[in-house]
Structure formats: C-alpha cells, structure tokens
Amino acid sequence: MRSILSGLILPFSIFWLLIGIAAFFYFIKKNRISLRLFIISIIWLLTISTSFLPNFLVSHLEDLYNTFSVTNLIKNQKPVNILVLGAGYSDDERFPSINNLAEAALGRLCEGIRIHRLIPGSFIVTSASGYENEITQAEVTRQAAIVLGIDSLQIKMQKKPKNTRQEASEYKRLFGDTAKLILVTSAIHMPRAMKMFRKAGLNPLPAPTNHLIKKGKHKDFWFWLPAAGNIQKMESAVHEYVGLAWADVED
C-alpha cells in the first residue's frame, strides 16, 4: 500500500498525471480546462526541476543530524557496533564487490569504515537481504569492506532485512542493546531510520552521509536552471516524508 501511494505522489508522476488529464479534456473538447491543466503542469515541472523547493525540502531532513564525531563516544566503555544500512546492489559476476554496490551503498560503507578506523575494537555490521537464491547485500557489502582493508573478523552481518524497519528489529534480535550502536545511512534517510530504531527500543548515535546538499564557497551560477538532478532530489525528499508519515500511521 505504501509503495503504491509513494509511487502515485512522486513529483514527476504528478506531472504526467496532470498532462494525461489535460489530454483527456482536450480530446473531449474541453479546451479551456485542458489549457489550464497544461499550464499548471508546466508550472509544476518548473517547480520540481529548479533547485529552490527541492533543496529546501532536502535540507530540512539532512540538517537534523550532524556528521558523526568520535568525541560522541568519550568515556564509552561498551563495545561498538557500526551498522551500515543497505542501499542497493547488483550481483553481476563480471564486477568486483565494490562495483556491485549502488552509489549510496558504497558511500554508506565508506563512512562506516571511516568511523571504524577511529574507534579501535569496533565492529562493522553489514545489512540487507538479497534477491531470491542470490548473494545478499550484506554479503556483498562485507566483501567490499574486506577489499577496502577491513579485517573479516571485525565484520558482522544481518542478511534477512528487506527494509529499514526490519533492519532495526533484526539488529535488536541478533545483537540486543549491550553494544553502543552507531547508525550509518544517507543523511536524507537518517530521520526515518532513527525513528524506526527508536521504535525498536534502540538508541543509536546517528552517522549521516551521502549528503545531497553541500554548502561551500563555490557557487554555481547556473543553479537556478531546471535540471533532472533537482527532480531526483525532490522525489527523494517526498519518499522520505511519505515514509515518516507512514511510520506514524503504523504506530
């Protein structure tokens, strides 16, 4: 139900829906209504393809949690697990494990490794299931971590979860709450992930990465022009807001 809803209300889907309705009214000779809907659809396309609204919505989610600092663990006496949430992969045998990870998944793993190297004795926990009868994402991520220099004995796996809610419950089932948990996921996804883990009875330290909005001194003069990347940001933001709302509905 949630996947159907989120698909229907994605910004680009709304654009095509408006175009389709406009075409319907054109064919039944309701030209005035058709023209109005067509104009609305163009305004909507410009809204979602320029940076202003997408950047605002994404920043609202990404700015809720700061980049992880090891000072957050001062005086910590517990073992530390660094859970790297899944974010997509392939099982193409032509490629090494690093190349089989989706871009977001590789970014999450790199942040997990960065934190692991700052905390001696910590463990990386890879996560997520796979396609039927195929290698799991947790295993592909584990292989990539080993390629990137992590000792296999410092890697744990949870191979069953299919979504964030299941990743939280499976972590609780496998590891409990005795270790200090650091949660690594994309910055835009972090608010929803933290909600899921807290509902599972866990209190992780957030370690956001893969930020879509990066603020620096360099300003792109053409930032105001429509671009496909802005539509992707808008759809990512809508996906997360729908996920947050759905989590509240399921309470």
Which structural domains are found in the chain, ordered by start?
2-61+229-249 (no CATH), 70-209 (3.40.50.620)
pTM of the complete model: 0.85
**What three-state secondary structure class fits 184?**
strand
Q: When comparing pLDDT for 135 and 184, which is higher?
A: 184
pLDDT of 2 over the 80 cut = no
Over pLDDT 90: what percentage of the chain?
59
**What three-state secondary structure class fits 88?**
coil
Q: Is 159 exposed, middle or buried (0-12, 13-18, 19+ CB in 10 A)?
A: middle
pLDDT of 103 over the 80 cut = yes
Over pLDDT 70: what percentage of the chain?
90
Contact 19, 13 (CB under 8 A): no
Mean of all residue pLDDT scores within the chain: 88
pLDDT band with cut points at 50, 70 and 90 for residue 6: low
pLDDT of 152 over the 70 cut = yes
